[in-house]
Amino acid sequence: MTLTRNLLAQGFALGLLSTSALAGQADVAFVNGRFWTVNPAQSEAAAVAVKNGVFVAVGTTAEITALADATTKVIDLHGQRVLPGLIDAHTHPLETLWMKSDWVDARYPETPSVAVALTNIATRVGTSAPGDWIFVACVSASENKFAEKRLPTRAELDEVAPGNPVILANGAHMAVVNSKALEALGITKGMTRLPKGGGVLTDADGNPTGVITDGFADIPSAPKPAEVIAYYGQGIAQFWNQYGFTSMLAITPHQVVPALQAVSQSVKQPNIRYTVSVWGAPDGKDLPDDLSAFDMPKDADPNYYRFAGIKAWVDGENDARTGYMYDPYEGHFDIDPAGGRGTLVTPQVEANAFVDLARRNNRLAMLHCSGDAATDICLTAYERDAAATPHASMRRIEHFGMFQLSDAQLQRAQALKKTGLYISVQPIWLTELVKADFENMGAERASTGYKFETMIKAGLEPAASTDMTGLYLGNIDPFKAMQALVTRQSDMGLFEPEEAVSVQDAIRMWTVWPAKSLGEAEHRGSIEVGKLADMTVLTQDILSVPGDKIAETQAAETIVGGRVVYTRP
Ligand SMILES: [Zn+2]
Ligand SMILES: [Zn+2]
């Protein structure tokens, strides 16, 4: 006890060591590192001690070494920079399995044109049995990127795949299908909605054009339960750990929840922590009244598996010309939904009902909004909720201000923040979608997007995420996203440099703010005594390299609960 008192006294005197540990109580000690803790009370440290997966001391190497005994595993970090474990605040991990196993890759830039995409599809048809579904992945806004400046048509897909249903996904909110797929989905003349809420575009005579919007819930592409269980148990963590992620918000179709509940029993401590948000129909209407059906089993470890909330889509996305706007899109694209203002998936009354469902169940509500009109629907639903339950926990807007943001919307969000509003953003889109936004919306509207510094100054604490669906290229890499945040280099060149954020804030966007946005900041998001011992060791010091070198940073080691779950080969 004397030793402990001495250590505590010494720590107090130096103002460095923070600890809840007694000497000899550390399972693992990480020493000789350069920790940037994201804890304002002690932002730099050289070493940490971990007991039962939790930080028990943060201080100097000498202080932490003094806490170790013969049973403590001591890991030397050789001066490497360490951050709190990165958190992906909004992602779709299961879809990356679909992408890997089944999909024909027609993503730009490897597939530069409609012509090459059709050749790739024809090749797959050659190795498929008649009637097999063929899934094709494009990136969002492919119509802006392909050499022909359009998507393949239904007729072109029919030509290369006369005997197979084909769905070509233009990102996650729009697809082109061929005649066999229309037949398989039961889409006939005059139909404008799919059974689960997706939109069907028709020509002047009411014939389906082959373009469907937000109809993915209707597509029979679900992998088999055994594949899902294996992927949640191991594959997802392997994929995300390489990029330094230790936690994710997994946005999950409700049909998959039983598989995830099973995984929580077979893999008690996976290599990534799952917080789960569940969706059903895009407008949220098919979710049960009692959401406890989605809870993880009682004996699942809540630090690894937790059902947190529900998600619905107010609209599509502006880059696929389906985000719901007040004014029509620019240009003359024949894929636009009627009226040219995008797709309204969840009107006001239904958005209100969705938020009420979350509130009755004391869960997080998540509403996806892209266009300005959709964002207003969401803000109105949350203002109504805040008026009824001023102390209610949490509401989240997904993709807030990515494509469009007005001053009035910023102020409404700021006011809501006082009663628990959080926002998720996808900074990597700066490098992928800005050009398409200008083509789709014109300069005036497009220049209101991606105002991350404005959001931070307004106190909105934006939570960054990959929104990884498998349909994009490279968007899982958080360091590329951080470089874009800091440099404002977009796919159109330098874009709104006054909206550049500091590298420190870029790190907060991937650590403490995602933790807050999920109600988990008490246990995650910073390197602090009492929090889960999640860390990302970097290959270079992200805090001192020039902004245009940030993307070269990689995860050298990823550590979950004091366990090294990934080491860069
Ligand atoms: Zn979304
Ligand atoms: Zn998403």
Q: pLDDT by residue (tens digit) across 371-412?
A: 999 999 999 999 999 998 876 668 999 999 999 999 999 999
pLDDT, tens only, 489-499: 999 999 999 99
Residue 139 is predicted with a pLDDT of 79
Please give the single-letter amino acid code of residue 288: P
- Over residues 78-93, the pLDDT tens digits come to 999 999 999 999 999 9
Give the whole-angstrom CA distance, residue 515 versus residue 505. Answer: 14
CA of 422 to the centre of ligand 1 (A): 15
Q: Which amino acid is at 129?
A: A
DSSP-assigned beta bridge partners for residue 501: none
Distance 561 CA to ligand 1 centre (A): 29
Which ligand sits closest to the CA of 313?
1
| C-alpha 399 to ligand 1 mean position (Å) | 7
340 exposure class (CB count in 10 Å sphere: 0-12, 13-18, 19+): middle
CA-wise closest residue to 428 among 318, 510, 366 = 510
**CA 524–ligand 2 middle distance (angstroms):** 22
d(C-alpha 85, C-alpha 83), whole Å: 6
Measured from the Cβ of residue 387, the count of other Cβ atoms closer than 10 Å reads 9
470 C-alpha to ligand 1 centroid (Å) = 14
The answer to whether the peptide bond before residue 427 is cis (omega within 30 degrees of 0) is no
Residue 195 — pLDDT band, cuts 50, 70, 90?
Answer: confident
Name the residue among 140, 112, 111, 98 with its Cα closest to residue 470: 98
Confidence of residue 224 (pLDDT cuts 50, 70, 90): confident
- Kindly identify the ligand whose nearest atom is closest to the C-alpha of 396: 1
C-alpha 400 – ligand 2 centre gap (Å): 12
Q: How far is the CA of 544 from the centre of ligand 2 (A)?
A: 32
Distance from the CA of 329 to the center of ligand 2, in angstroms?
22
Ligand nearest to the CA of 91: 2
Place of tokens 């969706």: 279
Q: According to the model, what pLDDT value does residue 542 have?
A: 98
- Burial 22-55, CB ≥16 within 10 A → b, else e: bbebbbbbbbbbbbbbbbeebeebbbbbbbebbb
Give the Å distances, CA to CA, from 113 to 126, 179, 185, 265: 20, 22, 27, 46
Sorted by where each starts, the structural domains of the chain and their CATH numbers stand as: 2-79 (2.30.40.10), 88-92+223-558 (3.20.20.140), 103-218 (3.10.310.70)
Q: How far is the CA of 440 from the centre of ligand 1 (A)?
A: 19
Contact 32, 75 (CB under 8 A): no
Distance between Cα 232 and ligand 1 center (Å): 21
Read off the pLDDT of residues 105-153 as tens digits, 9 standing for 90 and up: 898 888 999 999 999 999 999 999 999 999 898 877 888 889 998 999 9
Q: Please provide residue 128's backbone torsions phi and psi, each rounded to the nearest 5 degrees.
A: -110, 155
Q: Is the pLDDT of residue 475 over 90?
A: no
Question: What's the CA-to-centroid distance between 77 and ligand 2, angstroms?
Answer: 35
- Computed over every residue of the chain, the mean pLDDT equals 91
Which of the ligands is closest to the CA of residue 465?
2
Cβ(85)–Cβ(244) below 8 Å: yes
C-alpha radius of gyration, the chain, whole number: 24
Counting ligands in written order, the one closest to the CA of 470 is: 2
pLDDT in tens, 201-219: 998 899 999 999 877 767 7
State the distance from the centre of ligand 2 to the C-alpha of 282, rounded, in angstroms: 12
Quote the CA–CA distance of 7 and 16 in Å, as a whole number. Answer: 11
Name the residues around ion ligand 1, CB cutoff 5 A: 368, 398
User: How many Å apart are CA 249 and CA 453, to the nearest integer?
Assistant: 24
Per-residue pLDDT reduced to its tens digit, 418-466: 988 999 999 999 999 999 999 999 999 999 999 999 999 999 999 999 9
Beta partners for residue 486, in sequence order: none
- Asked if residue 509 lies in contact with residue 72, where contact means CB atoms within 8 angstroms, the answer is no
> Amino acid letter at 166?
V
